[in-house]
Structure 1
Amino acid sequence: MEVREATADDGPTVRSLALRSMEASYSLSPSTIEGAIRQWYGVEEFAEKLEDDEVQLLIAEEDGEPVAFSESVLVDSRGDIHWLHVAAMYRGQGIGHALYEETRQRLEDAGAETIRGLVLADNTEGNRFWEKRGLTKVGEGSVEIDGTAFVENIYVDHEGSEIQPIVVEDRELYVDRSDSDRGSKGAFYTVYSEEDRENKYGYYCGSCESLVTSMDSMGRLECDSCGNQLKPTRWDAAYM
């Protein structure tokens, strides 16, 4: 198997691989899957990913034929693997594992100290994949797909907590440095009202160190102090 970086000519290949993989792994309607793929990997969206220095798109080939791809991103010192798609007919041959190892190595070479994997809770095969790679489930998130909420499991390659207490207006809150998303100027970190991370309070802007507790009128996360905006990825319903 050979692994290479995606090029502008790989757009149709990536869309085809994602379609075949998702049809085999997710119990979603064909229209939802097709709409999501257009949004993530449409012509303009695919070009933007290729131009983004923090996004990594890798293509795995067998005898010159693309059979899998991964999409990952470096967020501070953490590597997030958003997608690792293997065409259904090539599963069970170790391609997913080999592509994961290559993706991880390249993330670490770029500065990642930890790895995080994300997968919908009802994707049994996907959850087993992360567990077999030695990652540990540390939490859950809620994502919205075509108006319906789904549970997304979060896996990391260590069990340590990076909770950091902060004081805002005489109230102690807790920033989770291990739970962050990319912004246009810096990362957004999840903030909780208690150390046990039971109740989410808002977000902490890594650009200007301000607390963000509300969305804008379009439902998008933006820091009022510095204009840092959350970059849409994965299942963001506002962009579907």
Structure 2
Amino acid sequence: MELREPTSDETERIREMVESSMTMSYRLSPQQIESILTDQFSDDHLSKVIDSDNAIVFVAENEIDGVETAVAGIVVGVVSDDVGEIRWLLVDPEHQGAGVGTELFESAVEALRDRDVDHVEAATLEKNTEGEQFFEKFDYVRTEERTVELGDESLVEYVYTEPSAASDETDAAGTDAANTDTDELEFPDTETEDGVRRATTDDGQTVYLGTDDEEDKESGTDAPFFVTYTDEEMSERYGYYCSNCGSLDVIVDDMERMECSECGNSHASRSREAYDDSYL
């Protein structure tokens, strides 16, 4: 395997490799992949990144049955405000499992540290089904969940931070607010009667919070969300309660992402698919 900087005349091959990688390893629609390719991997954009003084770009050449294949993987990192961030790490499906991703990642981290950054972070889309396991293999901690605009698509992205710089308040799973024990929450604007916690909607309706069942609890960037019900037996769902501010005005989209309209606390549904340890 050989790692090197790419040339501007390799942008078409890079784009083909990225499309194959995302098709195989990301839960994205063809339209979403095309939007990302147009926004981040067009000839013009890639050429600017390759020539940028604030970016590091490496491609890997690997072999299959002794035959050398150009651009089996790519890593893109940037330096911003004394932080080195790995923005993209993708490997051709035919070369996954050969250590290409690991070699690219470690080389990118080393190159970013040579730029005297304070610490290194790595970002990946929530739709990357194997991303979390890969970064946690290096003890990186998920410290942020944010929404990014890639072309016409608005997607959730996870940020992982090297352990020496990760916040002490963020647990090993990167879900500090998500894992707050229910007993430790204050539950603003609620009251408890006969062991059942309830809240009141703006129009005076009483709703009941499902706080006893973990399946009724969803992670949040600031505090968990809880399913609410219209009846005390909790058989008819009403919506969600934000335990950060006490609001019942929680918006849920068709991708199961949710956001509190009052305080901005948000949740993005994680993949429940099994991770494949052979990835990268």
**TM-score bucket of the superposed structures, by smaller chain:** 0.5 to 0.7
2:129 to 124, 132, 152: 124
| 2:42 counterpart letter in structure 1 | G
Number of the residue aligned with 1:90: 95
For the residues of structure 2 that align with 1:119 and 1:47, how far apart are their CA atoms? 21
Number of the residue aligned with 1:180: none
Listed as ranges, the matches of 1:5-16 within 5 Å are: 5-16=5-16
1:27 deviates by: 2.0
8 Å CA contact 2:122–2:161 kept in 1: the answer is yes
- 1:149-207: CA deviation from partner (whole Å, max 9, x where unpaired): 43321110035449xxxxxxxxxxxxxxxxxxxxxxxxxxxxxxxxxx959xxxxxxxx
Number of the residue aligned with 1:41: 41
Between Structure 1 and Structure 2, the one with more helix by share is: 1
1:132 deviates by: 0.7
1:117 deviates by: 0.9
Listed as ranges, the matches of 1:1-240 within 5 Å are: 1-63=1-63, 64-65=68-69, 66-144=71-149, 149-158=154-163, 159-161=165-167, 198=222
Unpaired runs of 5+ residues, structure 1, are 163-196, 200-240
RMSD, aligned CA? 2.3
1:116 deviates by: 0.5
1:24 deviates by: 0.9
- 1:104-151: CA deviation from partner (whole Å, max 9, x where unpaired): 111111222311111122423011111112101112112345666433
Q: Provide the TM-score with structure 1 as the length reference.
A: 0.63
| 2:44 counterpart letter in structure 1 | E
| 1:3 counterpart letter in structure 2 | L
Unpaired runs of 5+ residues, structure 2, are 169-220, 224-280
Q: Structure 2 vs 1, CA of residues 76 and 146 (structure 1 numbering), >3 Å: closer, same or farther?
A: closer
| 1:125 counterpart letter in structure 2 | E
Q: Structure 2 vs 1, CA of residues 146 and 5 (structure 1 numbering), >3 Å: closer, same or farther?
A: closer
Number of the residue aligned with 1:191: none
Higher-Rg structure is 2
What's the secondary structure of 1:124's corresponding residue? coil
For the residues of structure 1 that align with 2:126 and 2:76, how far apart are their CA atoms? 19
Q: Structure 2 vs 1, CA of residues 15 and 156 (structure 1 numbering), >3 Å: closer, same or farther?
A: same
For the residues of structure 2 that align with 1:37 and 1:97, how far apart are their CA atoms? 23
For the residues of structure 1 that align with 2:93 and 2:146, how far apart are their CA atoms? 27
For the residues of structure 2 that align with 1:148 and 1:37, how far apart are their CA atoms? 11
For the residues of structure 2 that align with 1:148 and 1:58, how far apart are their CA atoms? 26
8 Å CA contact 2:35–2:153 kept in 1: the answer is no
1:8 deviates by: 0.9
What's the secondary structure of 2:79's corresponding residue? strand
8 Å CA contact 2:79–2:85 kept in 1: the answer is yes
Q: Structure 2 vs 1, CA of residues 92 and 102 (structure 1 numbering), >3 Å: closer, same or farther?
A: same
For the residues of structure 2 that align with 1:146 and 1:44, how far apart are their CA atoms? 14
